[in-house]
Amino acid sequence: MNNIVLARVDNRLVHGQIVVYWSKEVEPHRIAIVDEVIAKDDAMKMIYKLAAPKNYKMSILPPKKFIDNLSSGKYGNERILVLFQSVERACQAIEMGLEIESLQLGNCPRTEETFAACDYIFLTEKDYAMLEALSGKGQKIYMQSTPGDRRIPFETVIGKHGKN
């Protein structure tokens, strides 16, 4: 395995909950945004690097490069908090070979195309199908906003969804 201490889907990426709550909970050395689109956008990379606390190393990389860095041992024993902007981007990275113990759904906002998987996680039918497929392959997936919130296993919503 690797040193990923948390892999989280959170459309806001680096923000207060990550900096204040999750970083204290999992104590990472590095925060990694794994995202093909953001990795190519110099302005967005600068914004996220400025938002990250100075006491953490920061990486913003496309999935393949991040996976290659992990595989080659580039990060040594660093504890890594991995962030994905969307379910789709997390699933793509996992399908490309990123090995994680579990995937946390932390902030997936409500839109016209989503339904509520729980009080604070809203998924599209496509997101749901991708997560259901990953879960079917044995990937652990859960929903949790902050460390003080109860973990809700994704399996508990399989087959119980519908548009709200």
Radius of gyration of the chain (CA): 15
Q: Which residues are 107's β-sheet partners?
A: 10
Read off the pLDDT of residues 7-53 as tens digits, 9 standing for 90 and up.
999 998 987 777 778 888 999 999 999 999 999 999 999 999 888 88
Give the range among 53-57, 93-97, 147-151 with minimum mean pLDDT.
53-57
Distances 116 to 14, 31, 110, 125, 144 between C-alpha atoms, Å:
23, 28, 8, 11, 14
Read off the pLDDT of residues 63-112 as tens digits, 9 standing for 90 and up.
999 999 999 999 999 999 999 999 999 999 999 999 999 999 998 889 99
Q: Which residues contact 56 (CB under 8 A, 6 or more apart)?
A: 23, 28, 29, 30, 31
Q: Checking DSSP bridges between strand 140-143 and strand 152-153, what pairing results, if any?
A: antiparallel
pTM for the predicted model, two decimal places? 0.92
- Is the alpha carbon torsion for 36, 139, 154, 146 positive or negative? negative
Residue 115: which of 100, 104, 131 has the closest Cα?
131
The domains of the chain are located at: 4-157
Dist. CA 6–CA 79, nearest whole Å? 9
The token pair that represents 19 in the structure block = 């900096």
- Yes or no: is domain 4-157 CATH 3.30.70.940? no
